[in-house]
Structures are given as C-alpha cells and as structure tokens.
Structure 1
Amino acid sequence: MRGQAQAGHLPVSQPPAAHLPVLYTQVLQGLKVAENGTYLDGTFGRGGHARGVLQQLGPGGRLLVMDKDPEAIAVAERDFAPDPRVAIFRGSFADLLHWDATAAGLDGVLFDLGVSSPQLDVAERGFSFGKDGPLDMRMDPDSGESAAQWVNRAEEREIADVLFNYGEERQSRRIARAIVARREKQPFTRTAELADVIAAVMPRGKDKIHPATRSFQAIRIHINRELADLEAGLDAAMARLKPGGRLAVISFHSLEDRIVKQFMNRHAKAPPSNRRLPELAAFVPTLDLVGGAIKADEDELAVNPRSRSAVLRVAQKREQG
C-alpha cells in the first residue's frame, strides 16, 4: 500500500509541494530502495526523485546523479554535494559506462525521460511554443547545434522526415515546405516565429492541442538525440545493474515507451518461435518485469496535469547461474 514501509525499507514520503516529480511514490516503490544500495538517477532535473531515494538510504548507501543540463547540475551541486553519499556527473545517461562511479555496479537505475518542467517553463531555453524565446531546445546548451541552426540549414526532406518520424506529424511535408519558404525570406531565431509558421499551415484538429505540439516535440528529440541516447542508456544500465537490481523508466510519448517496452520484453520474454527454422539455443531471460505500464492516478492528475502522459515501467535483473 502507498506510503507504508516494506521490510528493511523506510516509508515512502511525499515530495515537497513546490516540486512535483511525476509518479513519485510509484518510482520509489518500483526501485525498492535498499538502505545500503547504490542508485543512479540518470536524469536529475531538479532532484525530486533523487531526494526520495536519498531519504531511504542509510550511511552506507550511495546516490549517483547525472544530467546533461548545467542548470540541473548546479542545483545538484548546491543541494546534494555536501552529502558524502552523493556523487554528481554532468553528462548523458547514454555515457554512464564511462563514469567510474558506476563500475562497482548499481542496485537501481532511474531514467525520467523528456524535457523537465523547469526547461519548459523558462522561455530562454526555447523548448516551448507557449513562451516566446530563442529557438534553442538543447538540453545541454554547450553541445551541438540549436534548433534554430538546424531548421535554418536542413533540407526540406530531412525536416519532413524528422517531423513525421519523431512527432508522428501527418502534415510533415506541408510544414517542411512552409519552414523552408519562410527561412528564405528571414531565418528563424525565435520559438514564436516557428510556432506561427506551423499554425498558419495546419488545419485545426478536434483534439485541442496546439498545431505546433508534435513538430516541437520532433525537433527537440532530433536536436538532443533522445531516442538514440535512450537505446544506449538502456544497454548501459543493463550492463551496470547488479543481479536483483531494478530499472525504472518514465516515458512521456509512444516512441519512448515503445523502445522501453521492447527492451524490457526482449530481455524478459522468449521471442516467438518459427517452426520452419531450426531451433536456436534456449532463451535465458535476464530481466523480470515488475508489473505492467504504471500511470498516474486521479489524485496526481488533479495536482500535476503534466503527469497525464507519463508511463512508468519497471524491471528487475535476474540472478544468473
């Protein structure tokens, strides 16, 4: 039952009201934090989930936190660095194998995917079409090209492919043509400019979402290599998890969730057999699924509408041999 202590575990307390990490209680229950375990939060954000893990760790426990965003790392350094149980690393969770602190193995790994609320809420980061700001969208503003640089130089076909593949945008070709036509007159520099161009050529749907929603999602995913990083991060987490360790991943759209679901199933379930082909070596599962897709309940939705699209999946690494 929510909030009750399990044997050998502290109770799962609620996060501070000022910060509402999605599926907070479900994540901590899914990780099944052991007092002296080592846990990695690969997407620190503003530390909501990390604080919950740290509250359940004893003196021998260890919390490793990562983030690509320098603002997130600044918060981690300010709030967590004084605690000797905590280590902090700026970088993508795709590179967690390169962090020496993970080499001894992990009892739990958390990835909270997508863009964080602080990133969305600050116009200068350029993630939101609802707040005019520089067209940037980089989670690490010191690395790679910005969204403005990309939309001002990419070929029309590449833009259309990104919008279709990462945003599942059916009007991708029409939008790409409009982007190219507009930049020939004046390059894009602001989020509002791009949102207005998209809205001008998009038919209004019945779902009430802004016409630029899927396109902004697609460009953000492309700029930050989010799906490629997710695939690399899942493999790396699997390599570092100790037997009995748990992997918890929160996704916010179907592309992410599909990758997570397929990864966990691939390690937990035997592939379908084909009677026409010779039988290969017997399948040996390396993960056990812990429940199915977990979503926010009505209480959480009432106070945190952004949790509506969140899906949590949890798996536990099997003992081998």
Structure 2
Amino acid sequence: MKKMTDAYHIPVLLKESVDGMNIQPDSICVDVTFGGGGHSREILSRLGKKGHLYSFDQDEDAIKNIEKSDNFTFVRSNFRFLKNFIRYYGVEEVDSVLADLGVSSHHFDDSERGFSFRFEEGDLDMRMNQQARKTAAQILNTYSEEELADVFYLYGELKQSRRIASVIVKTRKEKPYKKTSDLLATLDSFVGRGEKEKKILAQAFQALRIEVNEEMETLKEMLQQTLDILKVGGRISVITYHSLEDRIVKNFFKTGNFEGRVDKDFYGNINTPFKLINNKVIIPSKEEEARNPRSRSAKLRIVEKK
C-alpha cells in the first residue's frame, strides 16, 4: 500500500490497537474504518503471504488511499454490512477486527462538507457516504422541534437542546438552512466565548453528524455481527472518541448487550461472550497527544471472544 500524507488522518493509538489484535502471519483481519489507511498499512506489515486484510470504508475519498496488494481487499461499504461482505468473499471466520471510530482529520479539514464549524461557507452536508440522501441541512429543515431537541440532547449532550430546537424551527420558516454560517448564526446566542464556545459548537455539530450518518445504530449493528464472524480466541480492538460510543462499546464488551445489563451464572460470574484484554482503558501517551492533538479523547478497548 502506498504511504498516505498525514493530512488525511494520523492513525491514533496505532501500535497499541494493532498489537491488541494479536496478528499472526496467516491471520484473516478486518479493518472496518479504513480512512487514510494508517491502521491497515500496519496490519498488512504484520501479515504473511497466507494472511489477508479486508478494509471497509463508505467514503469515496478513501478510495484514493488504496494501492493493490495480493493480501488486501477494499470494501466500499458501511461497516453495518460487515457480515454480509465477509460471507460474500467466502470467509466464514476472521481472527481479528479493528475499528477506529474517529472522524478523519481529512473530513474536518474539508471546507465543503460541513463537518467543522471552522468553515462558515461550507454546505451543511456531513455525509460520510456522499451517495446517502440525508444531509444535516435536511435534518435542520424537516425534523420536528421535538426530534431536533432529542438529537441535540442525546448525541450532543446539550443542556439547552429544547431552546436550540425551538429557535431552529422558527428560523427555518424565514430562511431554510443551507450553509454552516446559517447554523452558527442560530447557535451564537447560546454560546459563551473562548473554549466554552468551541465546546458547545463542537457538541452541536457532533450531534448532527451522528444523526446524519446513523452512527450509533451502525456501531451496534457492526459489534453484534462480530460475534458471528469472529473465531473463538479472536480479538476486537476498538478506539472511541466520545462518551456515547464508548458507553456502547464498554457495555457490549463487559456484558454482551448495549444496555450494560448484567447476567450472572450460578457462581456469580458475568455471562459475556468476551474476555477483557485490557481491564483499564488505554489512552494516548502525552507524547502522542502533543504530536496529534485530535487523539486527546481517544480510548482503546480490546476483547477476545470466548
């Protein structure tokens, strides 16, 4: 695979996450979040001739980061179809799965796709898959006040979600939302200045991005499918970046369900399909944070299928 520039995405917790996969030369591995190809390149470097890597990405831009390799297959698809595609390629079981759930730096730095509040004239798009129909603008212009409030509260954890939703519904009657600047104008009265301002804007944009791409639903679907395709003794290595997705991953790994509902056997042991490899969550070192500030919120969890 060709080496991509760091401008696309600097792989976070690279060594720790790939080490956690316990890769052998003949392993069959899956990277469900190809992106800039950083983690995939590292995985491939550890595979022998009999090993193989299947990497997923729904974003058309990711295709530019591919180079042909005999033991590499790129799947242009959302990872919610993980099991279908693995079966399509004739694979019954895999040895390891890696997911880096962060949005690529490339997306935040693309002024035209609306992922970041830094680019005021960007379209309110936020689609990872640009063939998908639902955009951030459509959500802002068509969702009911209650639906908008739920999005901002559940996915952005914004305390003023109901007031924000109310203003959006009133504003769109006069002028539909199209550009990032339209949303920023609405949010202006709800934010302070300095770091607090950035935090609230980031939470609002995160909420819309999650809703546009159905991120929580697809994450659950992907994790559930790992139970069907992973060998006994196989590993899952997942990097999360915010509390919502980390809670889903943590609950699933510890209890086998997304609610965190504990079911114990006769001896008081928790019934779960996994064994925790790291009891304590792994976070980036100070050196990595300094090198790549966007790694600051990353958390790595690794489990092995029983």
What is the TM-score when the length of structure 1 is the normalising length? Answer: 0.86
Letter of the aligned partner of 1:93 in structure 2?
F
Question: Does the CA contact (< 8 Å) of 1:178 and 1:198 recur in 2?
Answer: no
Cα distance in structure 1, aligned partners of 2:38 and 2:191: 37
Tell whether 2:132 aligns with 1:143. yes
Deviation at 1:201, TM superposition (A): 3.0
Matched with 1:46 is 36
SS of residue paired to 1:211? helix
Over alpha carbons, which structure has the higher Rg?
1
Deviation at 1:144, TM superposition (A): 2.5
Question: Aligned residue pairs: how many?
Answer: 297
Match of 2:74 among 50, 67, 88: 88
Question: Does the CA contact (< 8 Å) of 2:98 and 2:236 recur in 1?
Answer: yes
Cα distance in structure 2, aligned partners of 1:148 and 1:102: 40
Q: Where do 1:111-122 residues align within 5 Å?
A: 111-122=99-110
Question: Does the CA contact (< 8 Å) of 2:149 and 2:161 recur in 1?
Answer: yes
**Structure 1 residues 219-228 or 123-132, which shifts more?**
123-132
Cα distance in structure 2, aligned partners of 1:131 and 1:190: 9
What is the TM-score when the length of structure 2 is the normalising length? Answer: 0.90
Question: Does the CA contact (< 8 Å) of 1:64 and 1:101 recur in 2?
Answer: no
Cα distance in structure 2, aligned partners of 1:42 and 1:242: 17
Deviation at 1:154, TM superposition (A): 1.0
Q: Where do 1:1-321 residues align within 5 Å?
A: 20-76=10-66, 79=67, 82-99=68-85, 100-101=88-89, 103-132=91-120, 133-204=122-193, 207=196, 209-267=198-256, 271=262, 284-291=271-278, 292-318=280-306
Q: Any unmatched runs of 5+ in structure 1? A: 1-14
**Structure 1 residues 102-111 or 228-237, which shifts more?**
102-111
Letter of the aligned partner of 1:213 in structure 2?
A
Q: Any unmatched runs of 5+ in structure 2? A: none
SS of residue paired to 2:296? helix
Deviation at 1:195, TM superposition (A): 1.8
Change (3 A) 1:17 1:120: closer
Deviation at 1:282, TM superposition (A): 8.2
Cα distance in structure 1, aligned partners of 2:267 and 2:185: 55
